[in-house]
Amino acid sequence: MFSKACEHGIKAIIYIATQSMDGNRVKIGAVAEHTGTPEAFTAKVLGLLTKHKILHSIKGPFGGFEMDYLQIQNTTLADIVKAVDGDKIFTGCALGLKECNASKPCPMHHSFVQIRTDLKTMLENSTVHDLAIGLISGDSILVR
């Protein structure tokens, strides 16, 4: 459903949030290790998320990635998806047609509109904080 970059970004943000909640900055290697993602690809995705101000990057020997409390509380999965993949998942055609709409629908249009709406609602209502708390409590995992 999401691109690999988006999947890696979501996992990385959740992990970084858990560490930031403990007052820790996280290096790329630790993010890659704890999320099961390739380090170089993770670095690229985190650079993009930093550019979109979803997280902070601090350079130097004591640097790393972190999120402040407001970022953790206010960032939603929708914010991450839009930063990495754009908003096509919220507006695009299920079959990738350029001119799919209610007046000229693709064969899946009417069924997909509700699925897309429900997905958007779920992503907009899922905060990084909620997901980080699930990880901290052991109710969820990032790697197998």
In this structure, is residue 111 part of a structural domain? yes
pLDDT digits over 68-123, tens only? 999 999 999 999 999 999 998 888 898 989 889 999 999 999 999 999 999 999 99
Query: Residue 144: inside a domain, yes or no?
Result: no
The pLDDT score that the predictor gives to residue 91 is 86
pLDDT digits (tens, 9 = 90+) for 12-30: 999 999 999 999 999 999 9
Split at pLDDT 50, 70, 90, the class of 45 is very high
**pLDDT band at residue 136 using 50, 70 and 90 as cut-offs:** very high
Can you tell me the mean pLDDT for 130-140?
95
Q: Residue 10 domain-assigned?
A: yes
Domain count of the fold of the chain: 1
Domain of 48, CATH number, reads: 1.10.10.10
In a domain? residue 34: yes
Question: How high is the pLDDT of residue 8?
Answer: 94
Give the CA distances from residue 66 to residues 81, 87, 92, 102, in Å, rounded to whole numbers and listed in that order: 19, 25, 32, 43
| pLDDT attached to residue 131 | 97
Torsion of CA 104, 121, 124, 89, to 10 degrees: -30
Q: What is the pLDDT of residue 99?
A: 87
What pLDDT is attached to residue 65?
98
pLDDT at 81: 97
Residue 1 has pLDDT above 80, yes or no: no
Q: How many helices (H) and strands (E) does the chain have?
A: 8, 2
Supply the range of the domain harboring residue 91.
4-137
48 found inside a domain: yes
The β-bridge partners of 26 are: 65
